[in-house]
Amino acid sequence: MKSVQDPLTGLLARQSFVDAASHWLGSEKRPRQRLVIFEVFGLSIINETQGLALGDKVLQEVARWLTSKFDPARCVLGRWAGNKFVVLYEPCGTEAFPGEIHRASLGSLGLGSSLGRQADLTRLHVGFCDSASRQIDDLLTFASEALHASTRSTGAWGYRFDEAMHRRLLRRQDIEKDLACAIEAREIGLWYQPILSSDGSSLHSLEALLRWNHPRQGWTSPEEVVHAAAVMGMGETLLQHILQEVCHGLHALADADPRFEKVPVAMNVSPREIGDLPLSDIVSRTLLREGIAPRHLRIEITEESALDSLSSSGQLEALAAAGIAIAVDDFGTGYSSLAMLGDKYVKQIKIDRLLISEFHRSDRRMLLVDSIIHLGHALGMEVVGEGVETVEELEHLRLLGCPLVQGYYLARPTPLETLIAQVRHARMDWG
């Protein structure tokens, strides 16, 4: 069996890793084995701001570091993808290495010395599984599932594949299987949640939220649907479907009451959709075909996707130039993020609900929320306090001068027909 090395890192290339790991699994009877996937998070920023050569050096450093951690005679180590590494080995009984480095910055690991302060912003995510399975495909699937959970977590422990994850994996596979038919049948639809002035006197805009009641799995989250579409190679199909549904909603709103002409609708776009799809072209073509003015649509992106995918700025700038406002959802980092975002295309920031929740009971969170509100205003942005669930949260946002609010305390997401009826009977200004 001829092995092929990755030319950059000297580790086994992807297919050679699979071949070597399969041979390793079948060569000896071991009670268990561990497969770990490491992802270098933040590498895209290095590549785009400091050059591919420096990004390559980071990958080489990580590869050397991993090689120093494992005995080559007792493991199989490879480069799995652009920013991912994978290792298969037999762990010791008390060994906790993967968990200890979960979300660790390269700087804290003694890596990325040429990056300066950037080394502390570039970190490793870890997903791993311990299993008696002799099939490398199973181990890779299980570890990838754990890595997926790791990238969504703010915790400090590496994610190990367990029975709960196995149930989620089976759920995802069921969702993936039915996705195409659900899109075609328009079973994946939108509910709408208002954004209101903090005094409740006016309706500012609406947010369109993806909803799918799967016949066996029940209500699925937007993240589950987007992830399933990416796995199935249907990312563009899903994006076009959601955008088409937004257009149908805008037409229905205008037909129901001409005052809705003043109320824009926001749709959420995932980091994957921004990075992998011709977003600006798809949006522009669809709006033109549907006869909808760009000012009626807003695009919501997450703070992390905005900062970690500078290559997407061209698409977002093109959308902004066409008259489509860009909003940043789940905002919470503060000054540095606003400095990066504020001078380009962002017109609105939505303060992360984790900051808003009970923030009046924490002086530190109160200060951070107050800082975001005032700095957002200074940069000419709309500021929304989202996830408002209590009257105390609403009152304190109002006292801090937050002009716009959204959350369950004010209005829950509802189907379009229900929302139209609610707004018609509410005593408030529109737009």
Query: Please, what is the average pLDDT of the chain?
Result: 85
Can you tell me the distance from the alpha carbon of 127 to that of 290, in angstroms, rounded to the nearest whole number? Answer: 44
- Per-residue pLDDT tens digits for 328-342: 887 765 444 555 555
Q: What is the mean pLDDT of residues 191-211?
A: 93
Q: What is the mean pLDDT of residues 291-312?
A: 77
Question: CA dist 19 to 23, 129, 130, Å?
Answer: 6, 19, 20
Which token pair is 373?
């509100």
Full-model pTM:
0.72
- For residue 406, list its beta bridge partners: 386
Q: Are 349 and 384 in contact (CB under 8 A)?
A: yes
Can you tell me the distance from the alpha carbon of 91 to that of 5, in angstroms, rounded to the nearest whole number? Answer: 24
Percent of the chain with pLDDT over 70: 88
The pLDDT value recorded for residue 160 is 78
Least-confidence region, from 207-216, 263-272, 304-313: 304-313
Q: Are 43 and 122 in contact (CB under 8 A)?
A: yes
Work out the burial of residue 275: count CB atoms within 10 Å of its CB; fewer than 13 is exposed, 13-18 middle, 19 or more buried: middle
Nearby residues of 248 by Cβ (< 8 Å), 6 or more positions away: none
Q: Give all strands (DSSP E) within 20-97, no chain letters.
A: 33-41, 75-81, 84-89
- Per-residue pLDDT tens digits for 217-270: 999 999 899 989 988 999 999 999 999 999 999 999 999 988 898 999 999 998
Which token pair is 19?
């071949």
Can you tell me the distance from the alpha carbon of 186 to that of 66, in angstroms, rounded to the nearest whole number? Answer: 47
